[in-house]
Amino acid sequence: MFREILRLAAVLLLLAMIALPVQAGRHDPIVTPGPIEVPSGKSAEEIRKAVRKALFDDEWEMREIAPGRLEAKHSKRGKDQVHTAVIEVAFTGSSVRISYKDSQNLNYDAKDNTIHSTYNRWVRNLERRIRKNLGAY
């Protein structure tokens, strides 16, 4: 009897360990990149073009909401639904900032500040591309 309980406990522990990474991939802390410092000597137009090119190359739809502020939307079809993220990219002569605005089907939890890892991957890729376009490493 005691051995059966131990065996059952071991199986349950193993199942929990297997399920944990699957759950963690769906609800990671949301990535909010720090400001991207713009190298000196870049004009406002060069910064705007670098940001817009990065968004375009990563397949984000964008619109200007104010001078130095773009809203961008990225969507991908999953197995049974479309996953969508909306961000704001604000830029000045000295920095570029990416911030979360909204999402659909990415398991966003405002209370825990978590989201599906797919969103974080999209934002990290965009940050890298903006840095590359600006020559800001």
SS (H, E, C) the chain: CHHHHHHHHHHHHHHHHHHHHHHHHHCEECCCCCCEECCCCCCHHHHHHHHHHHHHHCCCEEEEEECCEEEEEEEEECCCCEEEEEEEEEECCCEEEEEEEEEECCCCECCCCEECHHHHHHHHHHHHHHHHHHCCC
Q: In terms of pTM, does the model score above 0.85?
A: no
In the chain, where are the structural domains located?
2-134
Mean pLDDT score of the chain, rounded to an integer?
Answer: 88
* 12-41: average pLDDT: 73
CATH topology of domain 2-134: TATA-Binding Protein (3.30.310)
pLDDT of 135 higher than 60: yes
Average of pLDDT values for 48-60?
97
**Per-residue model confidence as pLDDT tens digits over 60-89:** 999 999 999 999 999 999 888 999 999 999
Would you state the pLDDT for residue 5?
A: 65
